[in-house]
Amino acid sequence: MTDTGRPTTARAVALPLDRRIDQMLVRKMRRRAESTGPYRSQGLDDLARRLDGFVRRRVGDAFSLRDLRPLAGGSSKEQVAFTLVTPLEYGGEECRRLVLRLQPDESFVETDRLREFQVIRSLAGVVPVPEAWAVDPDGSELGQPGLVSAFVPGVTSPPREGAYRSQQGFGERYRTLLAPQFLAHAATLAAHRWKAGQLPAFDPVAAGTNEAVLRSIHWWKRVWEEDTLARNPLITLASHWLLDNAPVVDTVSIVHGDLRGGNFLFDPDTGVINAILDWELAHLGDRHEDLAFLLNPLFLEAEPDGREYVGGLFERDVFLAEYERLSGLPVDPVRLDYYAVFTNWRSAVMATGTAPRCVVGRKTPQDIRVAWTANSSAVALHMLSRTLEEVL
């Protein structure tokens, strides 16, 4: 890498991190070195042909695919919905709407489809998740790594008009309906006794150590080193502080990594949460990471009467007390402060480091969306600076 603001070829940084994450980042750097032009999406015809073979290898010859249609949403993956039609034994047919998530050359966040697939499968019946149907971890079947899951109906925020906002604008009606469910799911996730056998793509982590967070820091430190076009001393200062102060985890949980309003679907009529989405950043670690992210003032919604709701849904103290009661796990304010720095630092790495790299290199089919999301860089750095000043 140079400091001239131009994308260049590989620069590997050797730091200890999960094996799959290491392999994933090596693949990213290899693609970067090999790819000379802008990323081009597969045409729908090519994709339909590959998808046909992918499905055939899983269900046999008796099926058809209908209504292949690109979906909007998200800043990192390409999404295509389609209907899988299979004959029923006693006549008629079964139609299942599915969603294929495909990984472009590079994206706002580089993640691993196999880990995403495994974590969603392992949580079926624990918290609401879309059914994970099949995965192509290395892209050998679909032309690029991809994950197929069930299409879940619902909305991520109440209907509204106007420009983008970090808040979902739940308002009193949806807050009343959604908050107790979301809290229960967050607490269940933290307390869930995951099984290593269901998560072979995740390296084991021991409770009573700070191994998990050190691996996470090394992951994002490496992303920063590989992606940034311009150095930033605040990021460096924060990464040193995070390494020096990495806390021990008491209970190793599945951490969602992006747990907030906007990442769950609900029925706008009943307010029932149908699915928690976007598990691509999930990892084994400390529940305080999800808590600190959810409590970020960026997602806070204030009512005209002055009352404030963290995550747009909860009064902070009520939320933390209920979370402790439902999960049976304590909330440690020191770790909460630590993970506030960590999550802001990670957000800053993505928005300040990775997003510009993608846009300058034209590595996604939605450069414009990634460029827009990069506007969150300043506010991520602002929150990082504020939280870091509080702990230094």
Among 58, 231, 316, 325, binds another protein (CB under 8 A): 231
**How far, in whole angstroms, is CA 8 from its chain's centroid?**
26
> Contact between 375 and another protein (CB under 8 A)?
yes
Residues paired with residue 276 on neighbouring β-strands, in sequence order:
264
Residue type, 123: L
Q: Based on CB atoms, which residue is closest to another protein, 47 or 123? A: 47
How many residues are recorded in the chain? 392
> Contact between 109 and another protein (CB under 8 A)?
no
Greatest alpha-carbon span in the chain? 69
Q: How far apart are CA 23 and CA 30, in angstroms?
A: 10
Q: How far apart are CA 268 and CA 278, in angstroms?
A: 20
Q: Which stretch binds another protein (CB under 8 A): 202-210, 296-304, 314-322, 337-345?
A: 296-304
- Least Å from the CB of residue 357 to another protein: 9
DSSP H or E run through 178: helix 171-191
> Contact between 3 and another protein (CB under 8 A)?
yes
Q: Which stretch binds another protein (CB under 8 A): 138-146, 148-156, 320-328, 384-392?
A: 384-392
> Contact between 163 and another protein (CB under 8 A)?
yes
* DSSP three-state, residue 379: helix
Q: Based on CB atoms, which residue is closest to another protein, 9 or 209? A: 9
Q: Which residue has the tokens 């007390």?
A: 321
Among 80, 134, 275, 381, binds another protein (CB under 8 A): 381
Q: Which stretch binds another protein (CB under 8 A): 55-63, 153-161, 312-320, 376-384?
A: 376-384
| Contact residues for 187 (Cβ-Cβ < 8 A; gap 6+) | 322, 323, 326, 327
Alpha carbon distances (Å) from 169 to 165, 183, 301, 319: 9, 18, 7, 18
Pattern 116-155, binding to another protein, x per CB under 8 A?
Answer: ----------------------------------------
- Least Å from the CB of residue 237 to another protein: 5
**C-alpha count within 13 angstroms, C-beta hemisphere, residue 6:** 5
Site residues for another protein per CB under 8 A: 3-5, 38, 163-167, 229-234, 236-237, 240, 297-298, 300, 351-352, 355-356, 359-360, 362, 365-368, 370-372, 374-379, 381-382, 385, 388-389, 392
